[in-house]
Amino acid sequence: MKRFGGPILVVLALAVLGAGPATTPTATRPAARPTAGATPARTGARKAGARRLDGIAAVVNDEVVLQSDVEEQLYLYLMKAQAQVDSQTVDTLRTQILNQLIDEKLIVAEAKRHGVTVADAEVNRQAADVLQDVRGRFATPAAYQEQLRKENMTEERLMERFRDEARRSAMVQRLVVKQVPKRTPSQTEAEIYFKAHKDKFPKAPAELRMSVIQIPATADSATEAAARVKAEGIRKRIVGGEKFAKVAGETSDDETSARSGGDLGYLVKGTMDPAFEKSVFEGKLNSVSEPLRTAYGWHLVEGLDRDTLKTAAGRDSTDAQGTPLLEAHVRHILIRVPLSDDDVARARATADRARAEALTAKDFGAVAKRYSRYAGPHADDGDIGFLSVATLQPNIRAGLDTVRVGGVSEVLVNQAGFNVFKITDRKPEHEYTLEEVKNELPAAVGEMMFRERLDEYVKGLRAKAQIKINKT
């Protein structure tokens, strides 16, 4: 038995509802910059949990938490985080999610005891919105109906489960607001808390300041032109009236997003390829871009929405300079440009030559000017500023670990091509200073204090409950 009938419909519905336990695991999504080498998530969650999908994971008083409930939430979490994790981490997340679902059961039961209710009209409205969104994520109505058939599900039964999830979520939220009201402290209170509880705050990650020579592998002109012509033909289909989602499902080489009509979700400004980001944040909303080239191939991009990223307190999130962080809801179609072995070998030989010159030259910048095709923000000498070590692709990070300040790396490979880095400065992991976090501190401390009170409240509910967790 599955709560929403099957993985595809489950994930789509949970993503729209924002459903989930009162607290969620934390993870950092790597920035999608060429030097960071961000790659699509390879969750493996379904395979890892295939043998666990049937059965009871826990009993909470007289209610059960199904193992399928845990796996659905795990899959949703990993999909959102876009993180590549090992089996041990998956098991840790699974345990955390099980405990959160237990807490959720306790809170819902407590809400019922307190007489918390949700109007049917509100539940029906939210469930209808979810159903409409789920339908829209399929390329065609026929594809949606086929998915229902595969999951042995009717729309009526699906809608009823959406109603149950909407009612449960609303009850949890209302009880928590009533029993654990959230308050944003003043700046002075937040600073006092920060100074007294520095151990509760994460540390600032280690950073590297680098210059880069990047040599992408490029196809011959005929292959490149053919890919662009293909992208232009696809764009004509959409401009001519075909649905973007349908065309994306049929033509996009990004298999992950193609399954959801090209939808990439919300992306934060500063985490994308520059050409892609320019189209996302400067292009007209709900309009398909002209074909644009990135290291991944040719894209057709459509921005669906743009807004500022909000803190838990509802304020705009800001960067280190106090500028509000922007995000956009985006979908795209990708046409990859096939590379031959000769194309790759040619780029590698150029990178080897550039590195040899960089090792002997006094001016790394001069070599970068001559060879580098790095498309991201950089100075004329190839300087890309400080990057968090945590955002770097593992093989890039490993290749830079032993490079001293002033040293030049081996040729390191990522999705964007062959890279030669010069390390110009290192900042070790350190505790944040007050000045570094001052603008975000009231909201952050308010959230931490709320979580502490919520944890204590839930501990009290657990102490009065009968909970049995089944070991697997």
Residue pLDDT, tens place only, 169-215: 899 999 999 999 989 999 999 999 999 999 999 898 999 999 999 99
Q: What is the pLDDT of residue 4?
A: 33
pLDDT tens-digit series, residues 331-369: 999 999 999 999 999 999 999 999 999 999 889 999 999
The first and second tokens of residue 336, run together, are: 């990859």
Which H/E stretch holds residue 101? helix 87-113
Q: Where are the beta strands (DSSP E) in 33-95?
A: 56-60, 63-66
Q: What is the pLDDT of residue 10?
A: 40
Residue 223, burial from CB neighbour count under 10 angstroms (0-12, 13-18, 19+): middle
- pTM for this predicted structure: 0.58
Q: What is the pLDDT of residue 322?
A: 59
Q: What is the pLDDT of residue 309?
A: 63
27 pLDDT more than 90: no
Greater confidence, 16 or 27?
Answer: 16
CATH-assigned architecture of domain 7-179: Orthogonal Bundle (1.10)
Q: For 54-58, what is the mean pLDDT?
A: 84
pLDDT tens-digit series, residues 395-425: 999 999 999 999 999 999 998 899 999 999 9
Which of 162-166, 171-175, 230-234 ranks highest by mean pLDDT?
Answer: 230-234
Please check whether residue 106 is in contact with residue 59, taking contact to mean a CB–CB distance below 8 angstroms. Answer: no
Q: For 162-171, what is the mean pLDDT?
A: 89
3-state secondary structure of 24: coil
Q: Which residues have C-beta within 8 Å of that of residue 205, sequence separation ≥ 6?
A: 388, 389, 390, 429
Distance, in Å, from the CA atom of 155 to the CA atom of 159, rounded to the nearest integer, reads 6
Domain range list for the chain: 7-179, 207-215+341-427, 221-335
Give DSSP secondary structure letters for 143-158: HHHHHHHHTT--HHHH
pLDDT tens-digit series, residues 380-403: 899 999 999 988 988 999 999 999
The fold adopted by the segment(s) 221-335 is Chitinase A; domain 3 (3.10.50)
**CB neighbourhood size of 450 (10 A):** 17
Q: What is the pLDDT of residue 246?
A: 92
Asked whether this chain's domains 7-179 and 207-215+341-427 adopt the same fold, the reply is no
Looking at this protein, which amino acid is placed at residue 413?
A: V
Residue in this structure with the two tokens 């990057």, named with its chain if needed: 387
pLDDT tens-digit series, residues 105-146: 999 999 999 999 999 999 999 888 888 877 777 767 787 888
Greater confidence, 54 or 372?
Answer: 372
Q: Which residues have C-beta within 8 Å of that of residue 288, sequence separation ≥ 6?
A: 235, 238, 239, 244, 300, 301, 302
Give DSSP secondary structure letters for 204-272: BPPEEEEEEEEE-----HHHHHHHHHHHHHHHHHHHTT--HHHHHHHH-S-HHHHTTTTEEEEEETTSS
pLDDT tens-digit series, residues 5-18: 333 454 444 444 44
The closest alpha carbon to 171, from 19, 3, 60, belongs to 19
CATH-assigned architecture of domain 207-215+341-427: Roll (3.10)
Express as a percent the part of the chain with pLDDT over 90.
53
What is the average pLDDT value for the chain, to the nearest integer?
83
Q: What is the pLDDT of residue 21?
A: 40
Backbone phi, psi, residue 307, to 5°: -160, 175
Q: What is the pLDDT of residue 227?
A: 95
Least confident of 61-70, 83-92, 367-376: 83-92
Least confident of 39-48, 99-108, 256-265: 39-48
Q: What is the pLDDT of residue 42?
A: 29
Rg (CA), the chain: 25
Which H/E stretch holds residue 427? strand 417-427
Distance, in Å, from the CA atom of 378 to the CA atom of 395, rounded to the nearest integer, reads 22
Greater confidence, 246 or 133?
Answer: 246
pLDDT band at residue 20 under the 50/70/90 scheme = very low
Using the 8-state DSSP alphabet, how is residue 294 labeled?
E
Please check whether residue 98 is in contact with residue 58, taking contact to mean a CB–CB distance below 8 angstroms. Answer: yes
